[in-house]
Structure formats: structure tokens, C-alpha cells
A and B are shown apart, each in its own frame.
Chain A
Amino acid sequence: MTYKRSDGREADETRKIRAEVGVVPRADGSALFAFGDTIAIAAVYGPKPLHPQHLQNPEKGLLRCYYDMMSFSVGERKRPGPSRRSSEISFVTTNALMPALQLGNFPGTVVDVCISILQANAGTRCAGINAASMALAHAGISMSDLVTAVSVGQIDGQIAVDLTKEEEDYESGGEKTTDIPISFLPLSGKISLLQLDGGIKAEKLKEAIEIAQKTCSKIYEEQKKALKNIISRKEEKIKE
């Protein structure tokens, strides 16, 4: 191994995970998920009636995701409002979450998922998906599974999980880092998000997917713990 991670992490070690539920009391469900310095907040509103009415689907509810970064969350100020990048991420996030949701139970409605990045240091779409799936569960929307995402990468020929911005931009001898955001439905082991940027051989890509799955099962435990916490806190309140 030639590349040594500057923060001393092992190749299969994520940054410090923070998972909290109920961070936006007004919302029907909400959560915060952080990979170290990357912090995402998600709020869920719905299922609620969809307007205009002609957009309603009598068979199932509609899922709408809005992902964006706060203007001050990155080095150079990001112009507020949606960009092409954020539109695409909103779209792939919708597709990543959809397989876990049982929207057939809510015909004619819409579920809005709003994801905001408070602080960015790579892996924002994955943190956003993790926060969103917890927020959806917190909102009590029927789901078959949670959704857990992580970005895996190939740095200097070696596979590592949860890359930082510095690692994403790392270049050695013309070899750029490959970045692979991926999401799993942890119970079924199915893949609902798969993107890649960089340059990688097929065998290494498969290795990266295997490592991503192992990492996601660890992240899944953190998500569950946070969701269980909020329930036990509620129970305590009722007892009081």
C-alpha cells in the first residue's frame, strides 16, 4: 500500500458517524447524518395530498426529493438555488430511496424529502441518502427496508471507503482517484444507487462494491440505533 490516509483511517474505516433523528420538529420525519465533516439534514413532509390534482397517481404516492448544498457549505460560495448538479443528485436520490418505500399504501399523495448539506467535505449525496431514509422511517411511512449509502474509491490503486475531498482530488503519476457512490437496501442486499467517476478496472470495481456492502451494514446499525433511541425517548416521555 503506497497511499496512506492523512487522517490515519484504515481503508475500510468510515469517518466518525453521527446519526440523529427528529432534528426538525415541524417535519413529519427528520434526521441528521454526518460522515465526519460532511453533514446532511433531511426533512420529510407527507404523505400529503398532491397538487395540482392532475399530477396525482391513483395507484401510488409520488416521491419528490430535493437535494441541495447550503451556499456556505463549500470553499467558494455556492450560488443559492438548484443547479444542474443538485437536480441530478435529487433525481438519483429519488431512485435510490424508491425501492424501499411502499407508496402503494398512499395513492394520490406526495412525499417530499428535503435534503440540505450544512457542511461539505465529499460524500454529500451518500450522507443525504442516509439522512433521508432515516427521516422517512421517522415519518412512519411504510418501508420494506432502510437505504444506506457510502462512497467507495480507488486511491492510488487501493480501495478505500468514505473518501474526503482531499482524497477525491488526490492524483499521483497521472492516476486520478475513482469515486463510487453506492447505496444498498441492507436487508435484501440490493443496490439502488450506483455512480462512478474516474478510471477503474472491472475486477477492482467488484471488489469496491463488496467493501461498500460491508461498510453499509455497519452504517445501517448506526441508523437503526438512532431510530430506536427516539422511540425509547418517546416512551420515557409518556411514562413521565
Chain B
Amino acid sequence: MEIADLTKKRIIEYLDEKKRFDKRKLLEYRNIKIRFGISKQAEGSASVRIGKTEVVAGVKLDIAEPYTDSPDKGSMMVTTELLPLASEKFEAGPPRINAIELSRIVDRGIRESGFIDFKKLCIKKGEKIWMVFIDIYPLNDDGNLIDTSFLAAVSALRDAFFPKMDEKKEKVEYGKLTEKKLPLKEMPFMLTIHKIGKSIILDPITEEEESSEARVSFAISPEKKEAIINAIQKGGEKELTKKEVFEIIDVAIGEWKRIYPTIVEKITEAEKRPEEKIIQSG
């Protein structure tokens, strides 16, 4: 359902008074819930809820040939399917531009942050590498799919174990996991900032997202206790002044510093899930 111009006007007027429909502050995130291991067949999986928005992500690993320009590095591929299940706005069929853009934003954020150590995913230089497939499925869209999807992808990677490999056939034995986790470094976190009217907000609900004029997504990771921006994507049809862009950069860094430690805490807590993953050894 497209929202009425009247609703947009009301949202902007509300934001001008620093108010939101759900009583949050302009830069306040909704409650974040992370659950690991939501699908047993996947090498890693997680579900992330931000408010009523829910996204699941799964990681599958396979053996593949390396790309010619990086013979000693593993690789990854991010795909998103915007299922009609999650919103009346989504239509069945192959991924369209919104799904493609979402996948590429998540891909670049993870790749550029160096979160996955691709060198350690090389099995035999120039011949065989591990390919990491990250597949993202929103289950319920109530705004801010970008940040939710990114967190779900990062969580699923943290959840993943290498599958067993048949050394002779050099093929994966699916259904059997080793105890070895993926080679990961400190996690990146993505924040998307929206400009609506004169206001700058975080974590929009659907109605706010549809009133958004421009958005800027930042993937930020820590390096020697400093915030490093690894990826940016501006979206939306409206342009931004340089002053606005600078303000958005400052907000992104400031909020990232505030939110990041609690996210790391939540993920670490979720990692200790009680229903232990079935690890078949030998």
C-alpha cells in the first residue's frame, strides 16, 4: 500500500517537532533481537528483528574455482530475495533492482571491512577455494531492511561452521559439520540515515521510509579503536547539500560509536544459543 501524501505531510510535521509515530527519538533504534541457528541445514544462519522488521540469513559453503585475479583467495556472494511473503510491495520473480541494490550494499560492507579473511579460504592456490554464499530473506518488512539484512548476514557468518569435505572427491559432504568456524575478524555494522523534511533519522518504519527523500548507508568497522568507514551508498531521488552530507557523516560516526558495543554484546550473547548445533565429528 502506498502511503497517502497526507501521511507524509504529517510525518514531516511530527519530525519537525522531534516526534515519531512510535514515540521514539529521531536517532533511536527500535529493539534489536538476534537469534542464531534458525535453519539446521545451513552451515550458518540467523534471524534479526529490529522492531517488527524481521530478516533471516543463511550461509552455505561450497568448493569452487578461484577468480583469475585472486587465485589465492576465497570468495563470497550475497543474494537477496524480496519474497511476496514479507510485504505487499514485493512481487514474485527474479530479483529486481531493490533486491539487487540491497545485496550489493551488504556485499560491499562485508567485503570492504575485511570481516572475512578470504586468504584463509584458499584450499589450493589457483585451483580450489571456499565460496561463501550469503542468502538474505526478509520475513516481515516494517522498514530499515538494509540495516536489518546486514546484521542478519553478519550474524549468520558468525554462526557458520565449515562442512566436512570428502578429501578424495574434493567435494562437500553436506549435513556434516566440522568444529571449525569461518575465519572472521572484528565485525562491521551498518547504519542507514534518512533525510525526511528537515530531519535526520535512524531506523525508519515503513511509513517513514516511504516519506524519505534521501538515505545514506554506512558500513563502519573498528580499527585500533577508531571508526573506519568501509562502504557508503546514497539512495533516494533527492540530492543533499554538502553541509547535510557532513552532518550525516558525523551522525553516522557518533551513533555507530554509541550502538556498536551493545550490538557486539547482543551477538556474543546470541552465539551462546542453548540448542547446540549438531556437530558430527568423525
Cβ-defined partner of A99 (8 Å) among B226, B232, B237: B237
Residue pair A91, B228 in contact (C-beta under 8 Å): no
- Judged by a CB distance under 8 angstroms, whether B91 is at the interface is no
- Judged by a CB distance under 8 angstroms, whether B242 is at the interface is yes
Cβ-defined partner of A84 (8 Å) among B100, B233, B241, B245: B100
Residue pair A195, B232 in contact (C-beta under 8 Å): yes
- Given A84-B104, A201-B227, A206-B249, decide whether A195 and B239 contact each other with a Cβ distance below 8 A: no
Residue in A closest to B241 when the chains form the complex, CB atoms: A190
- Judged by a CB distance under 8 angstroms, whether B108 is at the interface is yes
Residue pair B242, A200 in contact (C-beta under 8 Å): no
- Chain A residues at the B interface, C-beta cutoff of 8 Å: 76, 84-85, 87-88, 90-92, 95, 98-99, 176, 180, 185, 188-202, 205-206, 209, 213
- Given A84-B100, A190-B239, A205-B249, decide whether A199 and B234 contact each other with a Cβ distance below 8 A: no
Residue pair B237, A194 in contact (C-beta under 8 Å): no
- Given A194-B216, A202-B250, A206-B249, decide whether A189 and B242 contact each other with a Cβ distance below 8 A: yes
Cβ of A195 to closest chain B Cβ, rounded Å: 6
Q: Which chain A residues border B221 with CB–CB below 8 Å?
A: 199
Q: Which chain A residues border B114 with CB–CB below 8 Å?
A: 199
Residue pair A185, B239 in contact (C-beta under 8 Å): yes
Residue pair A88, B104 in contact (C-beta under 8 Å): yes
Kindly state the separation between the CA atoms of A196 and B228 in the bound complex, as whole angstroms: 12
Kindly state the separation between the CA atoms of A192 and B233 in the bound complex, as whole angstroms: 11
Residue in B closest to A169 when the chains form the complex, CB atoms: B69
0/1 interface trace, chain B 8-24, chain A, CB 8 Å (1 if under)? 00000000000000000
- Given A84-B100, A202-B253, decide whether A196 and B237 contact each other with a Cβ distance below 8 A: no
